[in-house]
Amino acid sequence: MNDLTNHQQAVELLQQLGLKEYEAKCLVALSRLPKGTAREISESSDVPRTRVYDAIRVLETKGLVEIQHSNPQQFRAVPIEEAAKTLRQEYESRTDTLVEAMENIEPTVPASDEEITHEVWALSGVTPIANRTGQLIDAAGQEIVLIIGREEVVTEELLEQLQTAQNTGLSVLIGTATDQLREEIHAALPEAEVFVSGLEWLNGSPSARTDETTISRLLLIDQNTILVSSVQETETGAIDTEKAVFGRGFDNGIVVIARRLMASGLRPAADPDVPDE
C-alpha cells in the first residue's frame, strides 16, 4: 500500500513539475526497471503502448530518458539525482522567464505616490508566510522583534536572515514559547537576545486556551510593520495550514501596545526600547 502511495505521489509531483500524465507514468515505471521496452513500460505504467513512444520521445528531449537503438528499442531512465537536477534547472529557468515577463508588463493603473497610513492583508500557507517573514526581515532598518510559538517556524533560512540582520547592526530580539526552543535558537544565534516570552498562550496548552488555535509567529519590524500567524488543530488532530495577517502604517498607540506585549518576559536592561536608568 505504501509503495502504491509513493508511486502515485511521484506521478503527481512530476506532473506539477511540468510533465504530462503519460510522460510522468513512463518515467516512474522506468525508474523501477534497469531498462525496458515499450511493451514492458506499457505493462508497468498502464500507458497504452502506442502512447509510450510519444511520451519517451518527450522525456528524451528533456534529458530524462536514454534510448538504445536496438531491435526492439530499449529505454532507461537517467539516475534519480540527475533527473532531479535537470527538472530543477528547467523549473528555475521557467520561473526566471516568468518573473521577467511579469516585470515587463505595463501596469493598468499608475502606482500612487500617496503615503500608506494603514493597511492589513491576509496570507495562507507555510511557504508564502515564511517568504513574507523573510522579506520583512530583509527590509528592516532598525529593529526586529520576533516571537516564535512553534518550533516548525525555525528554519536554517530564517536563522541566516536573522544573523545577517544582526551583523548589519540591527537590534534583533527573539522570544520563544519554551526554554528548550530558547536554548536551540541561542545555540544557533549566540549573540542574539533570546528570551522566553511572557505570552503563556503561545505554548498552545489546552489549559491556557479555549480553542485549538496556536500562534506560530509574531513579527514586528521597525515598530511599524506587524505580522501574526497561527495554525489550528482539526478534529482529527491534524494541523491545518498556517494563516497570517500582516500590515504596516499602524498608528503609534497600537505599535506601542504590540511591542510591550511581544517583549513581555524580556529583561528591561536587555530591551533597547527601554532607556537605561
Residue pLDDT, tens place only, 235-260: 665 667 889 988 877 655 666 666 66
AA letter at 168: T
pLDDT, one tens digit per residue, over 70-102 is 889 999 999 999 999 999 998 898 889 989 998
Q: Collapsing DSSP states into helix, strand and coil, what is residue 171? A: strand
At 265 the pLDDT is 59
Contact 225, 136 (CB under 8 A): yes
At 224 the pLDDT is 84
Show the cell assigned to 248. Answer: 504596516
At 105 the pLDDT is 86
At 146 the pLDDT is 92
At 15 the pLDDT is 93
Q: Which pairing describes strands 193-196 and 243-248: parallel, antiparallel, or unpaired? A: unpaired
At 209 the pLDDT is 46
At 80 the pLDDT is 92
- Adjacency order of strands within the sheet including 193-196: 119-124, 243-248, 225-232, 213-221, 143-148, 171-176, 193-196
72 upstream amide cis, omega within 30 of 0: yes
Query: Low-confidence residues of the chain, pLDDT below 50?
Result: 1, 206, 208-209
At 133 the pLDDT is 94
Using alpha carbons, select from 91, 51, 55 the residue that is nearest to residue 65.
55
272 upstream amide cis, omega within 30 of 0: no
At 174 the pLDDT is 92
CA 212/CA 235 separation, integer angstroms: 9
At 1 the pLDDT is 43
| Domains of the chain (ranges, CATH numbers) | 2-103 (1.10.10.10), 119-270 (3.30.870.10)
Show the cell assigned to 201. Answer: 498562550
